[in-house]
Structure 1
Amino acid sequence: MPTPDVCHGDSADSWYHPTKIWTTLLTNRAYFGGLLVLNHSLRHHQSRYRLVVMVTRAVEEDEEYMEAFAAADIPTIVVDKIEPAPRDGKINKGTWEKLAPWSFTQYERVVLLDSDQVILQNIDEMMDVEIPEGWIASTHACTCNPRKLAHYSKEWVPENCAFTAADQATGTPAPITEDSHDNHHLLNSGTVILRPSETEYGALIDAMNTHPDVPRMLFFDQDLLAIVYRGRWKPLPYTYNALKPMRHCHAELWRDDNVKILHYILNKPWKSRTYDRADPIESTHSIWWDVYADVERNWAQSPDQRTRELWQNVVVPVVAQA
């Protein structure tokens, strides 16, 4: 893959570190409200690193949408479609473009985030986490399956979850060894620290096109990373990718004050302004809406008329108004 061009906003970039970035993927307008909250929370906590957003060709062709990125002063990288080779005439379509950062060799380090996350503390130390050459760092997948979803593996029960094996007092993740339960080798790709490398990127694309499990993968890039990097990924504490259901199913491990990145998997906060404030999981949506309120004030009350128009045209339609 050729090195993508980065389209920057209008403000000077000198304040940001030039060789390390945060990145996330957007494939349509639906997650733009989430992106604005992610970006605002990174800036609020004074990160020295820029969020550069991967957008697909379809997004690039949406001129008004691209204008909204510029209005938000969020630089973009246009990535080509990444898709596994057909098997028996079928393609496992998913968010395979999340593999693109391994090809961003203009940077020495990239931290991949999901746009349904909110940053609660400064996380710049992630740019200095030591990882061996050819490794990545990530957080374990939670395999408790509290909603008892039938299409998940029967092995996905609390006693097999890596977070059950973590140090409940300190949050230190359980070490991964060959003797660990297979679930402990699974990661959640909402947060991944990586060193871009054409060699690593090539290995991922080759595995995507050839590994026999690809047609059945439920979590696309996440499942592939767990296979390719088995024995070569460093587990981070859950606090760097705190999946909101864990506040209930791992209540002994969870500490509100320690969470650095809150991840809104499953139902998204921007889908409804109504939620159960007494529920340990749904109550976390108030955090997202508090950050969104700041974003909303900045855009809706902007002295620039076009910014206000973009707010109405691009953001309001994808974020619940009641």
Structure 2
Amino acid sequence: MAATTTAMGPAMSDGEGWYDPTKIWTTLLTNRGYFAGLLVLNHSLRKHRSRYRLKVMVTRDVERDEDFMRAFAAAGIPTIVIDKIEPAPRDGKVYKGTWEKLAPWGFTEYERVVLLDSDQIILQNIDDMMTMDIPEGWIVSTHACTCNPRKLPHYSKDWIPENCAYTAANQETGEPAPIVEGSSPENHHLLNSGTVALRPSREQADALMRALDEHPGVPYMRFSDQDLLAAVYRGRWRPLPYAYNALKPMRACHARLWRDEDVKILHYILDKPWQSRAFDQADPVQAMHRLWWDEFAEVEREWREDAADDPEKARLWEDVVKPVVAQE
């Protein structure tokens, strides 16, 4: 789980010293397709005056993409180059997944790391995640929504609203349902790894890698990293209110719980807003894409203002950013 930090590009306009260096936000990028999402995530963290810097984990394949790495530098986003993480072969077969999302447990140079997904947008300051209590050997996350409103056939048959932890949450306050071993529905033990706060340690990192190689459920884990985390941290993870990882379909399937003004982190699971500029404003879920596009417009305006005096930044916009963002 080796990692190399590369502080690329100029300091943010806030000044490098403005950030607390002991804690970071991080997200994983394995290809160019999510770069627009990363730019919006970074912009929205800065917009809400986070005291902590976002550093993006990139794979060795991304590191070899020279223009992509130049684009991170142009955006002022430091990179952490991580090695490939995958389970030991079972019967000659390797089970693929986003296992690289487990790398932050080994980032022991930081007191705390908060793992975010690059298809999220920050709508309020979330710096409290850097100071909230995390017992030794625990993590903090949010429940998985197991309603399966799209009736996707590859999801488990017990993914129905009656078993969803958000159905059991306090519908007035948003407080999550407590997880009680032996009495909570099995789905209440599942988490969504789009938002995870942790205290890195070599002991926990090693335990995760052992579980990756040895846990009998790994070949059957549909959601790879988050299923492994739910298994390893069963009974040792504290659920946060949905507002810290508001999965966009919940605006419809958990309408009683959802309040726009409470959402801190909006998570664009399933179809991504940057894939199309056309969306149904009347649809309660699709309408949330407007927030992303408004934020992206601010990103584009700032980038183009800088690019007016920087031909290389202008080129990177055309060659790296624009191709992965719908133009109509």
Structures share a fold, TM > 0.5?
yes
Matches of residues 102-141 of structure 1 in structure 2 within 5 Å? Answer: 102-141=105-144
SS in structure 2 opposite 1:82?
coil
Letter in 2 for 1:312: E
After superposing the two structures, state which structure 1 stretch, 211-220 or 33-42, moved more.
Answer: 211-220
**Aligned position for 1:261:** 265
Q: Given that residues 3 and 106 in structure 1 are in contact (C-alpha distance below 8 angstroms), is that contact kept between their aligned partners in structure 2?
A: no
**Aligned position for 2:302:** 298
**Aligned position for 1:238:** 242
**Aligned position for 1:4:** 4
Matches of residues 154-303 of structure 1 in structure 2 within 5 Å? Answer: 154-178=157-181, 179-301=183-305, 302-303=307-308
Kindly state the Cα deviation for residue 2 of structure 1 after the two structures are TM-superposed: 4.0
User: 1:23-67 CA distances to partner (integer Å, 9 max, x unpaired)?
Assistant: 000001000000000000000000000000000000001111000
Q: How high is the TM-score relative to the length of structure 1?
A: 0.98
Letter in 2 for 1:235: P
Kindly state the Cα deviation for residue 298 of structure 1 after the two structures are TM-superposed: 1.6
Letter in 1 for 2:295: V
Distance in 1 separating the partners of 2:111 and 2:304: 37
User: 1:288-315 CA distances to partner (integer Å, 9 max, x unpaired)?
Assistant: 0000001111223422111111000000
User: 1:196-250 CA distances to partner (integer Å, 9 max, x unpaired)?
Assistant: 0110001111101111111111111000000000000000000000000000000
Distance in 2 separating the partners of 1:232 and 1:128: 18
Letter in 2 for 1:5: T
- Does residue 156 of structure 2 align to residue 150 of structure 1? no
- Does residue 103 of structure 2 align to residue 97 of structure 1? no
SS in structure 1 opposite 2:192?
strand
Percent identity reads 70
Distance in 1 separating the partners of 2:19 and 2:321: 26
Task: List runs of 5+ in structure 1 lacking aligned partners.
Answer: none
Letter in 1 for 2:256: E
Letter in 2 for 1:104: F
Distance in 2 separating the partners of 1:258 and 1:210: 40
Letter in 2 for 1:215: P
Q: Given that residues 3 and 80 in structure 2 are in contact (C-alpha distance below 8 angstroms), is that contact kept between their aligned partners in structure 1?
A: no
SS in structure 2 opposite 1:5?
strand
Distance in 1 separating the partners of 2:108 and 2:4: 10
- Does residue 85 of structure 2 align to residue 82 of structure 1? yes
Distance in 1 separating the partners of 2:209 and 2:8: 28
Distance in 2 separating the partners of 1:166 and 1:279: 24
User: 1:255-282 CA distances to partner (integer Å, 9 max, x unpaired)?
Assistant: 0000000000000000000000000000
Distance in 2 separating the partners of 1:2 and 1:73: 23
Distance in 1 separating the partners of 2:17 and 2:8: 12
SS in structure 1 opposite 2:73?
helix
Q: Given that residues 4 and 104 in structure 1 are in contact (C-alpha distance below 8 angstroms), is that contact kept between their aligned partners in structure 2?
A: no
Q: Given that residues 3 and 81 in structure 2 are in contact (C-alpha distance below 8 angstroms), is that contact kept between their aligned partners in structure 1?
A: no
SS in structure 2 opposite 1:14?
helix
**Aligned position for 2:46:** 43
User: Could you say what the CA RMSD is over the residues aligned between the two structures, in angstroms?
Assistant: 0.9
Q: How high is the TM-score relative to the length of structure 2?
A: 0.97
